[in-house]
Structure 1
């Protein structure tokens, strides 16, 4: 389990860093980049790696807690990820979005719940097909 989680962390972190570099290069093409900016991008990628590579994977594959807690924990970790990465990327953007944080959290919670319902339906269909093959 630990080996799998560490591999997922590394893959998601490196993929996120590359993704963030590509996205930010569109807006910062002719600007010299200070070292602090590079460290912030590495930190943002690490946050994505922890949330999406470790927390999500552990919650949905190894955790024994009930489904509502899984949805709440994944929504909360996603919201914290959003807030910290936006703050690391731009304080101005963070200040603009500060007034809408409760709405962002509600949207995150609703989307996690809806996607969880779709995930359950897909898992039930797969399980039904496997059981039909056995008979």
Structure 2
């Protein structure tokens, strides 16, 4: 399990760093990038790696807590990830989004719940098809 989690962390972190570099290169083509900015991008990628590579994977594959707690924990970790990465990327953008943080959290929570329900339905359909094949 630890090997799997560390591999997922590394893959998600490196993928996120590349993704962030591509996205930020569109808006910063003609500007020099300060050294501190590169460390911020690495930190943002690491945050994505922890949340999406470790926390999500552990919650949905290995944890024994009930489904509502999984949805709440994944929504909360996603929201914290959003807030910290936006703050690391741009303080101005963070200040612009600050009045809407409660709405962002509510949208995150609702979307996690809806996607979870769709995921359960798809899993139940797959399980029903497998059971039909056995008969």
- Alpha-carbon distance, 1:121 to partner: 0.3
Runs of 4+ in 1 over 4 A off after TM superposition: none
Aligned partners of 1:64 and 1:80: how far apart in 2? 23
- Count of residue pairs brought into register by the alignment: 135
Aligned partners of 2:91 and 2:124: how far apart in 1? 44
Structure 2 residue runs without a partner (length 5+): none
Per-residue CA shift, 1:8-44, capped at 9, x if unaligned? Answer: 0000000000000000000000111111000000000
Per-residue CA shift, 1:98-121, capped at 9, x if unaligned? Answer: 000000000000000000000000
Aligned partners of 2:19 and 2:133: how far apart in 1? 41
- Alpha-carbon distance, 1:47 to partner: 0.2
Aligned partners of 1:127 and 1:66: how far apart in 2? 20
Per-residue CA shift, 1:28-69, capped at 9, x if unaligned? Answer: 001111110000000000000000000000000001100000
- Alpha-carbon distance, 1:133 to partner: 1.1
- Alpha-carbon distance, 1:6 to partner: 0.5
SS at match of 1:13: helix
- Alpha-carbon distance, 1:90 to partner: 0.1
- Alpha-carbon distance, 1:127 to partner: 0.7
Find the counterpart in structure 2 of residue 80 from structure 1: 80
TM-score, normalised to structure 1's length?
0.99
Structure 1 residue runs without a partner (length 5+): none
Per-residue CA shift, 1:75-105, capped at 9, x if unaligned? Answer: 0000000000000000000000000000000
SS at match of 2:63: coil
TM-score, normalised to structure 2's length?
0.99
